Amino acid sequence: MSEKIYDTVMVGAGPSALAAAVYTTREDIETVLYEKGVIGGLAAITDKVDNYPGFPDGIEGLTLAGHLEKQAERFGAQIEFGQVESIRSDGDIKTLVIDGQDVKARSVLIATGSDYNKLGIPGEAEYYGRGVHYCATCDGAFYREKKLVVVGGGNSAVQEAIFLTRFTTHIDLLVRSTIKASDVLQQELQKFVDDGKITVHLATTPNEIIVTDGTFEKVTATKDGEATEFNADGVFIFVGLKPNTEFLGGSGVELDEQGLIKTDIHLETSVKGIFASGDVRSGATMQIASAVGEGATAALAIREYLDSMPHTEAAPALEAVL
């Protein structure tokens, strides 16, 4: 209803948006973030973050998320809960429909991240981060000299299984049907199979993840119709990534073949004034450090964009609320 126009609206309140908000608000760019789930995103539900630079002994994901939130709020970021349903751009003004209400902004940052696809089996959600993992770069190093189960048969499953062999003594690779990875990856995989480092189990569907008295025990599965099980110290699941971009239909924001947002070098999307950063962006690494860095870079691009607009002084918008 109101004629209020924000300088920038950020969709999502994970590490990338929170980092961007530290930058924009510190420069008096009026900023509101809309989060539909958890402030801090995937970081907030990560047990231990070992590789976010600045914390030599690692830091709990929830603690890091709290730091990021506090820092953004210190400079005046406003964080709201709400589901963004659509975005449209009418020249210099962007309109977001959030829980059925119109919200207007001069610029938008999309930092909604991506979710890992789940198997949906018992034990998977309960032991997330404590035996059940979706990111080899993040958590592989916790499994030095250990035995793992890896689930998946696509490019990323095969690539990450090969990567994980640098830590593990042995990997059972469970593939629901047949391996879909590229020929090059399959040839590479064969070397690890020949060396006895990876055993491939085709036509094998995981049923349950069993943890006994806090110790990871095994993954039960059905192989060719028969029950079987795989003892291990943990399981890594690579069955795809779901970028949170479904609300972009009709926005004109271009996506790549995986549904991730395409950006230019300044992190601007195909729609002028709409930017993207973090794990929702094409080329994303699923690393907090990269997401945070891109958030900072995007914030500078947003400032430059706002400065280049006609009648862009932030002042009127600010005064309207005061």
- The rounded distance, in Å, linking the Cα atoms of 254 and 248 is 9
Fill in the DSSP letter of residue 14: S
Backbone dihedral angles phi then psi of residue 304, each to the nearest 5 degrees: -60, -40
- Write down the residue that tokens 């030095």 correspond to: 144
- The rounded distance, in Å, linking the Cα atoms of 259 and 245 is 7
Give pairs for 91-95: CB < 8 Å, separation 24+: 92/273, 92/309, 92/310, 93/5, 94/9, 94/273, 94/274
Q: Considering only the stretches 14-22, 89-97, 122-130, 226-234, report the one whose residues sit in contact with a copy of itself under the rule CB under 8 A.
A: 14-22
Among 11, 32, 64, 109, binds a copy of itself (CB under 8 A): 64
| Burial (0-12, 13-18, 19+ Cβ within 10 Å), 145 | exposed
Q: What mask, x for binding a copy of itself by CB under 8 A, covers residues 156 to 175?
A: ------xx--xx--------
Q: C-beta of 296: minimal distance to a copy of itself in Å?
A: 4
From residue 250, give the alpha-carbon distance in Å to each of 9, 91, 244: 18, 15, 15
Helix (H) or strand (E) holding 292: helix 288-308
Among 141, 193, 203, 320, binds a copy of itself (CB under 8 A): 141
214 binds a copy of itself (CB under 8 A): no
Q: C-beta of 258: minimal distance to a copy of itself in Å?
A: 15
Contact 154, 189 (CB under 8 A): no
127 binds a copy of itself (CB under 8 A): no
Among 68, 150, 181, 189, binds a copy of itself (CB under 8 A): 68
Number of residues in contact with a copy of itself, rule: CB under 8 A?
49
Nearer to a copy of itself, 4 or 166 (CB): 166
CA proximity to 109, closest of 250, 15, 3: 15
- The rounded distance, in Å, linking the Cα atoms of 123 and 91 is 49
Among 1, 3, 53, 250, binds a copy of itself (CB under 8 A): 53
Find the binding residues for a copy of itself in span 253-312 (CB under 8 A).
265-266, 283, 285, 287, 289-297, 300, 303, 307
4 binds a copy of itself (CB under 8 A): no
Q: C-beta of 80: minimal distance to a copy of itself in Å?
A: 20
Q: Considering only the stretches 4-12, 66-74, 210-218, 232-240, report the one whose residues sit in contact with a copy of itself under the rule CB under 8 A.
A: 66-74
44 binds a copy of itself (CB under 8 A): no
Pairing of strands 31-35, 147-151: unpaired
196 binds a copy of itself (CB under 8 A): no
- Reading the block at residue 152, the tokens are 């998946």
Among 2, 4, 70, 93, binds a copy of itself (CB under 8 A): 70
Q: What are the beta bridge partners of residue 231?
A: 218
150 binds a copy of itself (CB under 8 A): no
Positions that interact with a copy of itself (CB under 8 A): 15, 18-19, 22-23, 26-28, 50-57, 59, 64, 67-68, 70-71, 74-75, 137, 140-141, 162-163, 166-167, 265-266, 283, 285, 287, 289-297, 300, 303, 307, 314
